[in-house]
Amino acid sequence: MNMPSLFVGWIKECISSTWFSVKINGSLNGFSMGRKVFDKCKDIKLNHLFFADDVLFFARGDKDSIAHIMNYILKFSSLSGLHPSLHKSTSFIACCDPFLVSWFQLIYNVPLGSLPDKFLEVPLILKELSNNYYMPLLQKITSRIDTWTNFLLSMAGRAQLLKSFLWKGNSMAIGGAKIAWNLVCLPCLEGGLGLKCLVQWNYSQHLVHLWQLVANKGSLWVHWDRTTVLKKNDFWTMKVPSDCSWFWRRLLNLRDVEKMHLRYKIGNGSYFNFLLDPWFKGSPIALGLTDPVIACLRSSHAAAVSHFIDSGSWVFPDVNMSQHHASRAFLVWKVHFLDPGFDLQSLDRVF
């Protein structure tokens, strides 16, 4: 924004060198030093990412952190014989002292880049990508297709090209496709070309992501979302945050669809939430009970299924029917509670 450097320095001092205190009921309580913390990376201790043959390292903006990472890169090089091409790498530095940038360039001589950077011709940004962001990638793909169409392809080669992209004569022409996509994507035996319907494929991949999240599959993405987005919220009942990403919003809007395709198998009951997870006949128990009846369970909304299992049997609190209508409703529910099986020797599973 071309703010004066003096003004930028003032803001930096306010953030990095001040102490804060919170006033409660007219009196100050405690002090904390102001600092910049990447809170979404802190809990999961994220310091590097791998994708194909690329790797990204993250470091604090100080000499010790940078030197620590660079020394381990060189140590890995000496042990493996794989030497990093620092002159082909790129460094991105933000909110750091200019002297640190000069020192880093002088010692390690890694080219300095600027954000947003591109990966696979697509910019690395937080907001949803518009069509314009994809144009460089689409132009590359189009030029590659045009090159292929200049050669004499065999019938098998043409079929393979069709299965990758179906063009409309001129690849840059404006207008509808010659054949409806719902017909093109039919199996060959039904008169189609057996192409993959990308809309349905994308839809199914979203459902796969949801299953990985609910089943707590061990991936960085799952760990990230459960730590920074879900936190202590229940996935099935949480409201869609107003400030969440477009992708997370899309996943949350698919919860009702996902619920229809999931199967819960109770193991020792330590992972499933008793009231909120749809482990009981595909629906959360809390949906069929009012708050007064739920109160008769004498447990919190965070209670696991294992909280109601003891010595290999289901155990629920005793209530006095004459005290309240909720007690009577709870007793009726308990009598009609189907006895789903469980295996205390195994873990809870979602499949």
Rg (CA), the chain: 29
Each residue of 116-132: pLDDT tens digit? 787 777 777 767 777 78
Output the CA torsion sign for 272, 278, 281, 285: positive
Each residue of 151-177: pLDDT tens digit? 666 767 766 666 656 555 555 555 555
DSSP notation for 72-102: HHHHHHHHH-----GGG--B---S--HHHHH
- Rounded mean pLDDT, 218-244: 82
Each residue of 297-314: pLDDT tens digit? 888 888 888 888 888 888
- Rounded mean pLDDT, 245-268: 87
Contact yes or no for 300/308 (Cβ under 8 A) = no
pTM of the complete model? 0.63
Each residue of 13-57: pLDDT tens digit? 776 666 666 666 777 766 555 556 455 666 777 778 877 778 888
